[in-house]
Structure 1
Amino acid sequence: MKRLLFLLFSVLFVLSCSKNTSQKQEPQKIDNVFYDKAFKFRDTLKVYDSAYYYFNKAKDVFLKQNDSLRAGKCLVHMAIISTDKGDYFGGQELSLSAIPYFHTGKAEDSVPIASNFNNLGLAYSNLKNYEKAIEYYQGALSFTKDHNSLWALKLKNNIANSYRDKEDYKTSLMLYRKLLAQKIDNTDEYARIITNNAIAEWLQNPNYNAAPELLNALHIREKEKDPLALNSSYSHLADYYTKKKPDSALLYAQKMYLTAKKINSPDDQSQALEKLIKLSPSEAIKYFAIYQPLKDSIEIARNKAKNQFAVIRYDTEKHKSDSLKFQKDSTEKTYMVITLIVLLGLGFFWYRKRKQRLEMEKENAIKESRLKTSKKVHDVVANGLYRVMNKIEYQPELDKEILLDEIEDLYEKSRDISYEKPLAPTSHFHQKLASLANSFNTDKIQIHLIDNTPTLWEQVNATAKDEVTHILQELLVNMRKHSEASEVTLQFARQENELHITYQDNGIGIKGAVKSNNGLRNTETRIKNLNGQITFETGSEKGLSINFSFPV
């Protein structure tokens, strides 16, 4: 598992922090109290934010001493802590900033360079940029003298893993086989490589029998009694058996969860719970109730760590000019500080403007959502209900079953009023319009449809048909409420690539300018949505004429 690999790399890197390049010798005492405190907080007390803080302080001391090597090592330690705590961008940034502090031609710099490149590989891998990860892993390997060492094996394994993660199984399997062909004295690393090889074979060929290799790795790890390594095997076996032997998959997921709880590993607990939720439907609710707050607490802890690291970096940002150029005079240092302050000011200003813009966009989205809901209430509930009431009042012979169907349809639409549902196909749209018009016929009002033929609507899409239905319903409701008309004509025509609809009645008409009430606004919006146009013929003594058209 990546966390296990990362911790192992960190331990190896700790050994590289002495003046002498030999990892077997004791590190020489450094005249930097912050450096000692940083290691104490990291390795003994396991308080990583404090370790990060003191590495940052130690770096500043080394810069004043013109000790670029150890200043660079402090940055690499900070980068490793950031990556380990899930701040991959922060770890990447720190590792990249450490590169100029090392000299590729000096033997004593080769170990921290390799560790730094490995951290970059891990950060890029977690960010799923596998090409970059491979590039940095290979860079780390080029600064490793003994290619048969445990460190080199881990780097080669990481390279193979990156090829596997980017689904280049052919290359990854070739690299795993090369590793397995050489003598591997470290049982942990051997178990890791055979596990990774088996997983790659299985991912390439789902029918591949990976069980013998995975179980062999598990038995090796059981002898070593390393809970982190055991959890890696449990995780892979649970994944492998998910479809082949669900009972076995459930067993290994349970083992992984129990081990993760025992060693207090929230990440492993979270992964195990995800598997248990999938593998145990009868207990999924129980596991999910544990998983959700755990996942939230992990995310909160990671964000807290990221924020703490960012604050620490921000508090010491004014010293960045010293860490980049040791011999600059005071004038240049002042210029750099001023430039940094201006950039921070501009960044803060940009952040505020962006925050205001996002808040405004959010408010507009809420208003738009409310407007849509209001329009639906008006069109679906108000106008639909009015149409049904009109039928009940003026069509005494109305079939009860038909009426109940219409009320039920109106009920269903009102229930789903806040959802965007796909429009149903309308193969007999001309009949739907005829039914709509008929629902407004009374003994005093006659509605006539002209040229409402099936062929007219053949090339009109479902969205346009839906909009036309609501537009005509709105016009007929307004007619019924306000016009005092006794005759209404709806005429349809196709002219080249446009469909024209004319509404005419013999009512009292509209005197003066057209007032944009709620219904009229909805109508104009719908026609605009169809890229169409609408015109009102007003001012006549009798009646009202409305023409609208839209492209087909």
Structure 2
Amino acid sequence: MYPVRQGNTCLTLFSNVPFLYLVFIIFGTKFPLLKLIFIIISSILLTMSSCRKGGTPLPASDYRNYDKAYAFLSTDQDSAFYYFNRVVTESPDSQQVALAYTTMAMLQTDAGDYFGCQESLTSSLKFLNARDAEGRNDLANNYNELGMSSTKLRNYTDAIDYYDQALSSNKDSTFIPTILNNQANAYRHKKEYGPALELYQKAIRSKSTTAKVYARILTNMATTKWLSDHTYPAAPELRQALAIRQREKDLWGQNSSYAHLADYYMNSRPDSALNYADRMYAIAQRLHSADDQLEALQKLIKLSPGQLTKAYFARYNQLNDSLQTVRNAAKNQFALIRYNTEKHKADKLRLQKENSEKNYQITKQWAVIFIILTMAIAGGIIFAQRSRRKQVETEAKAKQELQDYQLSTSKKIHDVVANGLYQVMAEIEHQPELDKEILATRIDILYKQSRAISYNHSLEFNYQDFDREITDMLTSFSNPQITIITAGNEASTWDAIGVSTFNEIKNILLELLINMKKHSHADRVVLRFQRDHVRLHIRYQDNGIGLPQPTKFGNGLNNTGNRIKTMNGSITFDSNNGAGLVITMSIPIA
């Protein structure tokens, strides 16, 4: 039997009768014509207000999409993701939807899409019933997966919380050692070795610990003891765990053991470390694990003789590029599948709605036309009194837009002409041997940017290497009298930062350097770039005269503050009692 969604399908405008009463109360006494119009509209609506009762059948829960998804799971992950996504958008079975979301999350984890994985797991939690045993075990599994994805994203505190929720939800005793081990790993990554060792001890003493899980916990516990005390002899326990894994024919476990043994012997016995790294690489190739191959190659590059290092490095770059390409393609494909499925669902619902109302459209259209005409008459009555106010508002808006445009144009001229020319002048002053072609190129860029201002075109340039662009700009201000030191200006620092944001950051740094050269009398500048997963932190420091007290910011520093605000960032100035200037900035990456 199909479940049915019941409800009224009356003409939508009938629900607006109370609104018409309100209009009449407000304007009826002031505009008598509205009283007559209101009576006519109300009579028509009351005559036509017979509603239709109806329902839209929902599809019965079937397992065709679910079975297709699992059939593709080991052969075609894109197809598997497609059919699981159909399950979550079409199935009325909440347990089926929850399991589909969980499996989609695992596919996203394999593709390195940890944020997408967390989104799917969070969606799965909404469909699980914590009151039955099966639902609680599924909850525990989802929270454990959330913990592992958070660990991959280095959100260790969140990971520990998720593992606590997994333990409180879990009713399967055999799963407890695994959760405890994963939670201990999160503490180890935080370098909180005490809590980590307590959890490993608790997990390894569990009666439900299997041989494979015991070896895993033993390996992690020995490694943690060694990390907390490098004099600790972890080798016997690591080899004991390896022997268990070899006896159990656990290739993934052997891969882990070889990695930990290579790390343990890295400094004390490089030959042994090289042997274990070589074994890890061989196992990782058998498992077709690109991540583990990359880790093994990193160790081989450090430990191998010089003639082999080059070959391993080339293989590492090739494999890393290939892995990133495949994972990016998978992420894009998953997103496209979700988009197409949602679009198909929306189109289907739209067609169903159009078909269900097809017989009523003629009456509805005439009613709408009549109401529009009568309301137009009423609007004409009110329009004369409101036209003047709108005209005033329009003039005020036009004036504000003109002021905004002038301000924007002034800012662009300051950025392009003033700051750009100052940078070129600094290069000419400090680099007497400056290549004429380079100088001509920079002047040509200024010319094009100036023309863009006159045509109100975009001034953004799509730089290929942000770190090199920053380096070139800083070099133009460096000379025998002024030393500029940088730290953290690397390609990875600018990863995932958009061109628009970079252009603003570059202009901010240019403002500070121009201010330093004009006013601070500094001969030493230090710029440090740091970032976490959500923000970029920049620290500027010079040994100039600092800011006068009380501080009055000129156009340059005012522009700097305004740019930071438009990027939802923050900035602080510290004059350091005349011993120089320290400026710290924090800017969101996204």
TM-score range, shorter chain: 0.5 to 0.7
Map 1:148-227 to 2 at 5 A.
Answer: 149=174, 151-183=175-207, 186-227=210-251
1:62 to 70, 75, 91: 91
Question: Are the equivalent residues in 2 in contact too, given 1:125–1:162 (CA < 8 A)?
Answer: yes
Residue 180 of structure 2 aligns to a residue in which SS?
helix
| 2:315 equivalent to 1:290 | yes
Counterpart position of 1:40: 71
| 2:343 equivalent to 1:312 | no
Question: Are the equivalent residues in 2 in contact too, given 1:376–1:417 (CA < 8 A)?
Answer: no
Give me the TM-score of the superposition, normalised by structure 1.
Answer: 0.55
Question: Are the equivalent residues in 2 in contact too, given 1:118–1:137 (CA < 8 A)?
Answer: yes
Give the Cα–Cα distance (whole angstroms) in 1 for the partners of residues 205 and 293 of structure 2.
Answer: 35
Counterpart position of 1:126: 152
Deviation at 1:421, TM superposition (A): 9.0
Residue 103 of structure 1 aligns to a residue in which SS?
coil
Give the Cα–Cα distance (whole angstroms) in 1 for the partners of residues 268 and 419 of structure 2.
Answer: 47
2:277 to 225, 239, 253: 253
Distance 1:233 1:424, change over 3 A: farther
Distance 1:384 1:162, change over 3 A: closer
Counterpart position of 1:137: 163
Q: Which amino acid aligns with 1:137?
A: Y
Moved more, 111-120 or 190-199: 111-120
Counterpart position of 1:462: 523
Residue 244 of structure 1 aligns to a residue in which SS?
coil
Q: Which amino acid aligns with 1:54?
A: Y
| 2:300 equivalent to 1:276 | yes
Q: Could you list the per-position Cα deviations for residues 209-252 of structure 1 after superposition, in whole angstroms to 9, with x for gaps in the alignment?
A: 11111111111112222222111111111111111111111111
Counterpart position of 2:3: none
Question: Are the equivalent residues in 2 in contact too, given 1:423–1:463 (CA < 8 A)?
Answer: no
1:244 to 268, 272, 275: 268
Distance 1:381 1:120, change over 3 A: closer
Distance 1:373 1:293, change over 3 A: farther
1:104 to 99, 105, 130: 130
Q: Could you list the per-position Cα deviations for residues 158-188 of structure 1 after superposition, in whole angstroms to 9, with x for gaps in the alignment?
A: 1111111112111010111122233355211
Counterpart position of 2:98: 72
Give the Cα–Cα distance (whole angstroms) in 2 for the partners of residues 99 and 134 of structure 1.
Answer: 18
* Number of residue pairs matched by the alignment: 341
Distance 1:320 1:233, change over 3 A: farther
| 2:114 equivalent to 1:53 | no
Residue 273 of structure 1 aligns to a residue in which SS?
helix
Question: Are the equivalent residues in 1 in contact too, given 2:108–2:116 (CA < 8 A)?
Answer: yes
Deviation at 1:311, TM superposition (A): 0.9
Map 1:517-532 to 2 at 5 A.
Answer: none
Give the Cα–Cα distance (whole angstroms) in 2 for the partners of residues 135 and 319 of structure 1.
Answer: 38
Residue 59 of structure 1 aligns to a residue in which SS?
helix
Give the Cα–Cα distance (whole angstroms) in 2 for the partners of residues 367 and 249 of structure 1.
Answer: 59
Distance 1:176 1:384, change over 3 A: closer
Counterpart position of 1:267: 291
Counterpart position of 1:4: none
Q: Could you list the per-position Cα deviations for residues 467-495 of structure 1 after superposition, in whole angstroms to 9, with x for gaps in the alignment?
A: xxxxxxxxxxxxxxxxxxxxxxxxxxx9x
Q: Could you list the per-position Cα deviations for residues 81-129 of structure 1 after superposition, in whole angstroms to 9, with x for gaps in the alignment?
A: 1123211000101111122212211233222222221221111111111
Deviation at 1:463, TM superposition (A): 5.5
Residue 101 of structure 1 aligns to a residue in which SS?
coil
Deviation at 1:138, TM superposition (A): 2.0
Q: Could you list the per-position Cα deviations for residues 324-367 of structure 1 after superposition, in whole angstroms to 9, with x for gaps in the alignment?
A: xx9xx979xx9xxxxxxxxxxxxxxxxxxxxxxxxxxxxx9999
Question: Are the equivalent residues in 2 in contact too, given 1:184–1:190 (CA < 8 A)?
Answer: no
Identity of aligned residues (%): 42
Residue 176 of structure 1 aligns to a residue in which SS?
helix
2:428 to 378, 386, 401: 378
Distance 1:248 1:319, change over 3 A: same
Deviation at 1:374, TM superposition (A): 4.6
Give the Cα–Cα distance (whole angstroms) in 2 for the partners of residues 236 and 153 of structure 1.
Answer: 20
Give the Cα–Cα distance (whole angstroms) in 2 for the partners of residues 246 and 77 of structure 1.
Answer: 41
Question: Are the equivalent residues in 2 in contact too, given 1:373–1:418 (CA < 8 A)?
Answer: no
Moved more, 231-240 or 367-376: 367-376
Counterpart position of 2:121: 95
Counterpart position of 1:302: 327
Counterpart position of 1:353: none
Distance 1:275 1:421, change over 3 A: farther
Counterpart position of 1:82: 108
Give the Cα–Cα distance (whole angstroms) in 1 for the partners of residues 476 and 231 of structure 2.
Answer: 42
Q: Which amino acid aligns with 2:91?
A: F
Residue 112 of structure 2 aligns to a residue in which SS?
coil
Q: Could you list the per-position Cα deviations for residues 485-516 of structure 1 after superposition, in whole angstroms to 9, with x for gaps in the alignment?
A: xxxxxxxxx9xx9xxxxxxxxxxxxxxxxxxx
Deviation at 1:377, TM superposition (A): 5.3
Q: Could you list the per-position Cα deviations for residues 22-47 of structure 1 after superposition, in whole angstroms to 9, with x for gaps in the alignment?
A: xxxxxxxx83211111111114x2x2
Deviation at 1:141, TM superposition (A): 2.0
1:231 to 251, 255, 259: 255
Deviation at 1:419, TM superposition (A): 4.3
Distance 1:211 1:92, change over 3 A: same
Give the Cα–Cα distance (whole angstroms) in 2 for the partners of residues 255 and 298 of structure 1.
Answer: 21
Q: Which amino acid aligns with 2:340?
A: D
Determine which structure has more spread, i.e. the larger CA radius of gyration.
1
Question: Are the equivalent residues in 2 in contact too, given 1:214–1:237 (CA < 8 A)?
Answer: yes
Give the Cα–Cα distance (whole angstroms) in 1 for the partners of residues 346 and 158 of structure 2.
Answer: 28
Give me the TM-score of the superposition, normalised by structure 2.
Answer: 0.51
Give the Cα–Cα distance (whole angstroms) in 2 for the partners of residues 304 and 384 of structure 1.
Answer: 44
Give the Cα–Cα distance (whole angstroms) in 2 for the partners of residues 170 and 296 of structure 1.
Answer: 38
Q: Which amino acid aligns with 2:197?
A: L
Counterpart position of 2:392: none
Q: Which amino acid aligns with 1:57?
A: R
Alignment RMSD: 4.1
Give the Cα–Cα distance (whole angstroms) in 1 for the partners of residues 416 and 238 of structure 2.
Answer: 53
Deviation at 1:384, TM superposition (A): 10
Map 1:411-490 to 2 at 5 A.
Answer: 419=475, 461-462=522-523
